[in-house]
A and B are shown apart, each in its own frame.
Chain A
Amino acid sequence: MNSRLIGWILGIVILLALPPLMVALGQPYYVDLVRRIMILAIAAISLNLILGYGGLVSFGHAAYIGIGAYAVGILGFYGFFNGWLHLLVAIAASALVALAIGAVSIRTSGIYFIMITLAFTQMLYYLGISLEEYGGDDGMRLKTRSEFPLLDLNDPLTFYYVVLALMLLSIYLVSRIVNSRFGMAIRAAKSNEARALAIGFSPYPYRLAAFVIAGAMGGLAGALLVNHTNYLTPDFMHWTRSGEIMFMVILGGMATAAGPVAGAFAFLLVEDFLSAGAPLRFVREHWQLFLGPLLILSVLFFRRGLAGILAKRDE
């Protein structure tokens, strides 16, 4: 058996065993924390599809999280609580928004692409703030979580396992996509656009399709996140969240299957340690003072991410 497979099985077993263990230890906080990490890992997995495999430096992935969250929040506001409907609308709406943003921004490249995806996300953030009916700046509490037959998201363990299943499904989906003919085309366009054009295909429709898929998965993450917090706020779309998700992908290792998940865990655990667990009060209060330089150092000296370390040991 190869070490990679062992790693996967080990990781899944740990995640499966974690909730009962933590409840037994009297630490339900960690069930909540890991659930949140896995939700944001889904967003990172989807961003990895376009950023890692497609080379599209999208600085606006929080937009789709926001659209997914607002879809759930607004449906609930008008009394629709059916979870399947929530997921369907969240995914469809974020796919549509991704289609609109992607259609304009994928025509550009480089710095322009970064700035434009950032700017459109900011536009949606302001839109969220100006929607006074749905809480505006302050946001609003959900009347109830999404309702599924047989599954009760109000039960922390059930919700945890739903998120775990969806995260594994996302990993599987993205790995199927990148190993398909479609995925080959995206990766070819990343490594050499001129050659892709020369062998007779235009990267644009492939990139746009990948952008829409990634947006739809981001919408799924948003629908889960708003259920997790039970609170809808425009802060889901804040530009720093886009930066954080991007950082998770880089930290874990771009264009690897497990990288975004490892990155999400590493980033959010460090953040949780600095902001809540650090022994010094000064560190807990001003954790961003330490997180910022950590980010800079890891960009400067840790170029291939966590996956890079593992790959090196394999060699």
Chain B
Amino acid sequence: MNFALLFEQLLNGLQFGVTLFLMAAGLTLVLGIMNFVNLAHGSLFMVGAYLALAAAQWTGSYVAGVVLGLVLTLVVGMLVEVIALRTLYDRDHLDQVLATFGLILFFNELVAILWGRAALFASAPAFLSGHIDLFTGSTYPKYRMAIIVVGLIVAVLLWYVVTRTRLGMLIRAGATNRTMVSALGVNIRLLYTVVFGVGAALAGLAGLLSGPIYNVQPGMGELVLIQVFVVIVIGGIGSIRGALVGAVIVGVVDTLGRAFLKPLLGTLISPPAAESAGPALASMLIYLLMAAVLFFRPQGLFPARGG
């Protein structure tokens, strides 16, 4: 295989990885701080994509669509937290799973009623269409490059907020021992709502960025959600750093597996056998990786202390 192709697929993997990271960051904080399993995080991904698309069509501007989409997803997330999820924090995980499962059905159907079941086409804005030249001599889509840049900027911002600000201090303290944090006089309910809302907005950001690359359709968030679970299991619950590393690993492994496993197997076993075994193995790769990480490090690569 040639180097230019490998490099391009690495970038694709990184782009997929930062999308996963945007989803995983919010979810891992919610898991770590509130000890809350939120299956509906994938619905927020979908809601973000739809709202941004609708807002962009309404205002006629991509940037306005993104900003409005983000703000609206933040509001939807906080509303869901206050109305439905808040009462579930002291329930066991089983109740949380079932209630958020119900939320997914609700959101999928609601989106289908509002925008129809067929996939919608979202296009990249004009200023991000086209390609840029890579040093390898090939070109790469501007839009995907922009996703990578946005994802990395968000990662740095999150790292700054979590490790260098008072809010971040509370978040880390909450992940370590939430009873103690609330005993020290911190309004933990407000903190929960804020963290949940920010997590929702990040999921929405991931969704609206993915719109022009994947299909915008009901249920689009669940497939990503389960991959995000793999990211969190690999990275460790409650850890932003773990989410970033896990997301990039999963993104790159999945993308490279899909691109190169079939030709690679073709050189080892007969091409017809590789034709069927390649895609099968490629789709299982990240789950096998997860199993391996669990076997050697059951708490993930970067567990949050005390979480």
List chain A positions with a Cβ less than 8 A from chain B. 51, 57, 59, 104-105, 107-108, 110-112, 114-116, 118-120, 122-123, 126-127, 129-133, 239-240, 243, 246-247, 250, 286-289, 291-296, 299-300, 303
Closest beta carbon of chain B to A7's beta carbon, Å: 26
Q: Report the separation of the CA atoms of residues A120 and B279 in the bound assembly, to the nearest whole angstrom.
A: 17
Residue B276 is within 8 A (CB to CB) of chain A in the complex: yes
Contact B106 A292 (CB under 8 A): yes
Closest beta carbon of chain B to A49's beta carbon, Å: 15
Contact B101 A293 (CB under 8 A): no
Contact B237 A111 (CB under 8 A): yes
Interface centre among B95, B102, B106, B298 (most CB of A within 10 A): B102
Other A-B contacts than A123-B284, A123-B287, A287-B109, 20 sampled, CB-CB below 8 A, are: A104-B294, A112-B237, A114-B97, A115-B230, A115-B232, A116-B290, A127-B283, A130-B276, A243-B98, A246-B94, A247-B101, A250-B98, A288-B106, A288-B109, A289-B106, A289-B109, A292-B105, A292-B109, A299-B95, A299-B98
Q: Report the separation of the CA atoms of residues A220 and B102 in the bound assembly, to the nearest whole angstrom.
A: 28
Q: Report the separation of the CA atoms of residues A184 and B214 in the bound assembly, to the nearest whole angstrom.
A: 50
Q: Given A288-B108, A299-B95, check contact A132 B276 (CB 8 Å).
A: yes
Look across to chain A and name the residue whose beta carbon is closest to the beta carbon of B218: A288
Collect the chain B residues with CB atoms within 8 Å of residue A114's CB.
Answer: 37, 93, 97
Q: Given A118-B226, A299-B102, check contact A111 B93 (CB 8 Å).
A: yes
Collect the chain A residues with CB atoms within 8 Å of residue B283's CB.
Answer: 123, 126-127, 129-130
Q: Report the separation of the CA atoms of residues A295 and B99 in the bound assembly, to the nearest whole angstrom.
A: 6
Interface centre among B99, B104, B105, B294 (most CB of A within 10 A): B105
Residue B252 is within 8 A (CB to CB) of chain A in the complex: no
Contact B37 A111 (CB under 8 A): yes
Look across to chain B and name the residue whose beta carbon is closest to the beta carbon of A238: B222
Collect the chain B residues with CB atoms within 8 Å of residue A250's CB.
Answer: 94, 98
Collect the chain A residues with CB atoms within 8 Å of residue B287's CB.
Answer: 119-120, 122-123
Residue B113 is within 8 A (CB to CB) of chain A in the complex: yes
Closest beta carbon of chain B to A304's beta carbon, Å: 12
Q: Report the separation of the CA atoms of residues A288 and B107 in the bound assembly, to the nearest whole angstrom.
A: 9
Contact A286 B113 (CB under 8 A): yes
Contact A116 B276 (CB under 8 A): no
Residue B87 is within 8 A (CB to CB) of chain A in the complex: yes
Collect the chain A residues with CB atoms within 8 Å of residue B288's CB.
Answer: 123
> How many residues of chain B get a CB closer than 8 Å to chain A's CBs?
44
Q: Given A127-B280, A239-B226, check contact A247 B113 (CB 8 Å).
A: no
Q: Report the separation of the CA atoms of residues A247 and B95 in the bound assembly, to the nearest whole angstrom.
A: 10
Closest beta carbon of chain A to B6's beta carbon, Å: 23
Look across to chain A and name the residue whose beta carbon is closest to the beta carbon of B228: A115
User: Considering the complex of A and B, which 9 residue pairs feature the smallest CB-CB distances, nearest first?
Assistant: A295-B102, A292-B106, A292-B105, A123-B287, A126-B283, A289-B109, A115-B229, A296-B102, A288-B109
Collect the chain A residues with CB atoms within 8 Å of residue B101's CB.
Answer: 240, 243, 247, 295
Closest beta carbon of chain B to A56's beta carbon, Å: 10
Q: Given A104-B291, A111-B93, A300-B87, check contact A127 B237 (CB 8 Å).
A: no
Q: Report the separation of the CA atoms of residues A119 and B232 in the bound assembly, to the nearest whole angstrom.
A: 11
Collect the chain A residues with CB atoms within 8 Å of residue B99's CB.
Answer: 295-296, 299-300
Closest beta carbon of chain B to A233's beta carbon, Å: 17
Collect the chain B residues with CB atoms within 8 Å of residue A303's CB.
Answer: 95
List chain B positions with a Cβ less than 8 A from chain A. 31, 35, 37, 84, 87-88, 91, 93-95, 97-99, 101-110, 112-113, 222, 226, 229-230, 232-233, 237, 276, 279-280, 283-284, 287-288, 290-291, 294-295, 298
Closest beta carbon of chain B to A127's beta carbon, Å: 6
Q: Report the separation of the CA atoms of residues A104 and B291 in the bound assembly, to the nearest whole angstrom.
A: 7
Q: Report the separation of the CA atoms of residues A270 and B13 in the bound assembly, to the nearest whole angstrom.
A: 43
Collect the chain A residues with CB atoms within 8 Å of residue B280's CB.
Answer: 127, 130-131
Q: Given A288-B108, A292-B105, check contact A133 B37 (CB 8 Å).
A: no
Collect the chain B residues with CB atoms within 8 Å of residue A104's CB.
Answer: 291, 294-295
Q: Report the separation of the CA atoms of residues A118 and B110 in the bound assembly, to the nearest whole angstrom.
A: 25
Contact A119 B93 (CB under 8 A): no
Look across to chain B and name the residue whose beta carbon is closest to the beta carbon of A120: B287
Q: Report the separation of the CA atoms of residues A111 and B304 in the bound assembly, to the nearest whole angstrom.
A: 14
Collect the chain B residues with CB atoms within 8 Å of residue A133's CB.
Answer: 276
Contact B103 A126 (CB under 8 A): no
Closest beta carbon of chain B to A17's beta carbon, Å: 33
Closest beta carbon of chain A to B88's beta carbon, Å: 8
Contact A119 B226 (CB under 8 A): yes
Collect the chain B residues with CB atoms within 8 Å of residue A286's CB.
Answer: 109, 112-113
Contact A292 B104 (CB under 8 A): yes
Collect the chain A residues with CB atoms within 8 Å of residue B295's CB.
Answer: 104
Collect the chain A residues with CB atoms within 8 Å of residue B298's CB.
Answer: 107-108, 112
Could you pull out 14 A-B pairs where Cβ atoms are within 8 angstroms?
A111-B35, A112-B298, A116-B294, A118-B226, A123-B283, A246-B94, A293-B106, A295-B105, A296-B103, A299-B88, A299-B91, A299-B98, A300-B87, A300-B88
